A = this chain, B = another copy of it.
């Protein structure tokens, strides 16, 4: 129970950030607000990566586009993994901080839009469900890799994971 954000008392956070608690509370009305702000900033960063990738891929066929999206997901998770770990492990998903899942909601909506634009290439019919499955799978694979196999996210070892994830999603989306 004494790790991550729990281990992060406001006083410690302030000290680490090189400011006094007083100053911290000048900018954030409560610890919750502070955590929220950090998490939102992180999510904004991630969403930027995802959005850029989807824009870049918009006109590309699913067969090649997915590869790029998977790469973007890996890049996103590789961005400040320590923070990502702490946030994903310690941020309550119930209570006032649950407001963080909007991130996933937007990503889901964007992906579904992409799939709808490429509906004729796909096997699936329920694109909402399909987007959910793809999002969740890619997210889980890259996320788990970040947490337990940081090695696969840098250097050449990064390829196998990307390959498998792409394989997985394409096998699911495309008609056999």
A32 within 8 A of B: yes
Interface size class of A (residues with CB under 8 A): 35 or more
Q: Judge whether A129 and B160 touch: CB under 8 Å.
A: yes
A48 within 8 A of B: no
Which of B90, B101, B139 sits near A140, CB closer than 8 Å?
B139
Give the distance in Å from the alpha carbon of A136 to the alpha carbon of B161 in the complex: 12
Nearest chain B residue, comparing its CB with the CB of A139: B140
Q: Judge whether B4 and A92 touch: CB under 8 Å.
A: yes
Contacts of A130 in B (CB 8 A): 164
The 6 closest A-B CB pairs, nearest first, are A171-B171, A140-B140, A3-B92, A168-B172, A137-B137, A3-B95
The interface of chain A, by Cβ under 8 A from chain B, is 1-6, 31-32, 35, 85, 89-90, 92-95, 101, 126, 129-130, 133, 136-137, 139-141, 144, 147-148, 160, 164-165, 167-168, 171-172, 176
